[in-house]
């Protein structure tokens, strides 16, 4: 059943397969009056784009975004925005050999079980290529949040394999191929990934998203809590296996006296909650972590079955990332932006003017 949409007030709907003619989306509900150009979107797409380093797929896609509607004279009109990216470097023939084979760790088997038919070329709809439209829509949401509400979203890698990165300097995130915020770890990451590439293997990662200056009061009890909707959006990204808000799984071993945040005249003195209380933003920094599993398409052989149930050993060729988690950074930022945008609008529907709830403007 229809599951290719996300958001209530700000709603993104997407289409497109890895090796189909094009990928596209419709963004519905955008407020009128926002300046938007294709280069605003392209900039975010380039951050996600394959070919940015040695450790991501070598597939060369320009990912050239076209705005087809909803923007007139450079400004949103309030009507639905259609976006499209044509696939140019698709090589469906690369996938003829896996036509009848279920690649372990991929969705081949489950798509076949669900639909009885599947576009096997590069995973079809299940490919992470689908995320270009998340990033594109996210670029619009990010721009609105930044320009109109002063909200800023930062993503970075905080762990790859056993190398943990501290958030020491967000300014360097865009200046290294790992979106790493820890200058001391860049060489280590480089070595780790270089070694893995030699082994034809891959590795998992942890991505952290920080939202600075979120408005207070967004999030809709009791089911559409802000944290619940963020968890939904982040878990919907390919290969994500865990989501945390604030202290996350560390709360298991924390006493109540240590896991609540003291309130003073000057504000909160700690942020165990990650900026959300009872599903509603407190105005503190929102802090989220996600775990992304290693790419399953690697040069290491594994046993599987084909459409006829026969066993076979495969090595997944093709062009794949050594650490897919890296490119998840702009995707996760985009999903957070989409959810925040939606919730700012949902707040406005019920409670009116949101600018009075902006920390950044106070």
Q: Comparing C-alpha atoms, which of 318, 244, 290, 281 is closest to residue 96?
A: 318
If one asks whether residue 214 binds its own copies (CB under 8 A), the answer comes out as: no
Query: Of these, 153, 243, 332, 358, which contacts its own copies (CB under 8 A)?
Result: 243
Q: 128: annotated binding-site residue?
A: no
Instruction: Give the contact letters, 29-68, x = binds to its own copies (CB under 8 A), - = no.
Output: xxxxx--------------------------------x-x
162 SS3 class: coil
If one asks whether residue 79 binds its own copies (CB under 8 A), the answer comes out as: yes
Query: Of these, 52, 251, 271, 318, which contacts its own copies (CB under 8 A)?
Result: 251
Q: 18: annotated binding-site residue?
A: no
Which residues 6+ apart lie within 8 Å of 24 measured at CB? 14, 15, 16, 82, 83, 84, 85, 133
If one asks whether residue 242 binds its own copies (CB under 8 A), the answer comes out as: yes
Q: Are strands 240-245 and 286-292 parallel, antiparallel or unpaired?
A: antiparallel
Q: 39: annotated binding-site residue?
A: no
CB of 48 to its own copies, least distance (A): 16
- Within 279-308, the residues that bind its own copies by CB under 8 A are 279-283, 291-298, 300, 302-305
Stretch that binds its own copies, among 41-49, 136-144, 326-334, 344-352 (CB under 8 A): 344-352
Q: With beta carbons less than 8 A apart as the criterion, state whether 178 and 160 touch.
A: yes
Stretch that binds its own copies, among 13-21, 37-45, 53-61, 138-146 (CB under 8 A): 13-21
| Token pair listed for 230 | 């963020």
Name which of 175 and 192 has its Cβ closer to its own copies: 192
Stretch that binds its own copies, among 40-48, 120-128, 135-143, 173-181 (CB under 8 A): 120-128
Task: Give bridge partners of residue 280 from the DSSP assignment.
Answer: 277
Name which of 145 and 228 has its Cβ closer to its own copies: 228
Name which of 175 and 225 has its Cβ closer to its own copies: 225
CB of 65 to its own copies, least distance (A): 13
272 alpha-carbon distance from chain centroid? 23
Number of residues that bind its own copies (CB under 8 A): 157
If one asks whether residue 94 binds its own copies (CB under 8 A), the answer comes out as: no
Backbone angles phi, psi at 291, to 5 degrees: -110, 125
Stretch that binds its own copies, among 116-124, 137-145, 167-175, 182-190 (CB under 8 A): 116-124
- Within 134-163, the residues that bind its own copies by CB under 8 A are 159-162
Backbone angles phi, psi at 24, to 5 degrees: -160, 175
d(CA 353, CA 347): 8
Query: Of these, 51, 177, 183, 204, which contacts its own copies (CB under 8 A)?
Result: 204
Burial readout 225-261 (b: 16 or more C-beta within 10 A, e: otherwise) = bbbbbbbebbeebbbbeebbbbbeeebeeeeeeebeb
If one asks whether residue 241 binds its own copies (CB under 8 A), the answer comes out as: yes
If one asks whether residue 74 binds its own copies (CB under 8 A), the answer comes out as: no
- Within 166-195, the residues that bind its own copies by CB under 8 A are none
Q: 278: annotated binding-site residue?
A: yes
Q: Give the CB-side neighbour count of residue 308, counting CA atoms within 13 A.
A: 3
Q: Could you give the C-alpha distances from 39 to 43, 59, 61, 118, in angstroms and in order?
A: 6, 22, 16, 34
| Token pair listed for 245 | 């808000």
Q: Comparing C-alpha atoms, which of 341, 344, 335, 134 is closest to residue 231?
A: 335
Which residues 6+ apart lie within 8 Å of 176 measured at CB? 186
Query: Which residues line the annotated binding site?
Result: 48, 125-127, 238-239, 278, 293-297, 319
Binding site for FMN: what residues are annotated? 125-127, 238-239, 278, 293-297, 319
Name the binding residues for NADP(+). 48
């Amino acid at each position: 059943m229809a599951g290719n949409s996300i958001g209530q007030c700000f709603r993104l709907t997407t289409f497109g397969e890895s090796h189909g003619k094009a990928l596209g989306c419709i963004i519905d509900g955008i407020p009128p009056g926002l300046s938007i150009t294709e280069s605003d979107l392209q900039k975010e797409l380039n951050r996600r784009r394959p070919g940015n380093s040695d450790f991501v797929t070598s597939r060369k896609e320009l990912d050239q975004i076209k705005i087809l509607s909803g923007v007139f004279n450079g400004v949103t009109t309030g009507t639905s925005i259609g976006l499209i990216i044509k696939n140019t470097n698709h090589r469906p023939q690369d996938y003829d050999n896996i036509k009848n084979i279920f690649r372990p760790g991929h969705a081949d088997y489950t798509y076949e079980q669900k639909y009885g038919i599947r576009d096997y070329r590069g995973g079809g709809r299940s490919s992470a290529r689908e995320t270009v439209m998340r990033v594109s829509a996210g670029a619009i949401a990010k721009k609105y949040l930044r320009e109109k509400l002063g909200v800023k979203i930062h993503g970075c890698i905080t762990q790859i394999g056993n190398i943990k990165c501290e958030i020491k300097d967000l300014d360097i995130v865009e200046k290294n191929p790992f979106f790493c915020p820890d200058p001391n770890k860049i060489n280590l990451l480089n070595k780790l990934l270089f070694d893995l590439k030699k082994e034809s293997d891959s590795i998992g990662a942890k991505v952290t998203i920080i939202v600075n200056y979120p408005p207070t009061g967004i999030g809709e009890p009791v089911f559409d809590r802000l944290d619940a909707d963020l968890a939904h959006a982040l878990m919907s990204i390919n290969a994500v296996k865990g989501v945390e808000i604030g202290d996350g799984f560390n709360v298991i071993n924390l006493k109540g006296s240590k896991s609540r945040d003291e309130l003073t005249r000057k504000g909160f003195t700690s942020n165990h909650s990650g900026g959300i209380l009872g599903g509603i933003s407190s105005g503190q920094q929102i802090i989220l972590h996600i775990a992304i599993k290693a790419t399953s398409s690697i040069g290491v052989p594994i046993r599987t079955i084909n459409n006829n149930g026969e066993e076979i050993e495969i090595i997944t060729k093709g062009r794949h990332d050594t650490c897919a988690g890296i490119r998840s950074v702009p995707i996760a930022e985009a999903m957070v932006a989409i959810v925040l945008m939606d919730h700012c609008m949902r707040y406005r529907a019920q409670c009116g003017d949101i600018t009075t709830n902006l920390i950044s403007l106070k």
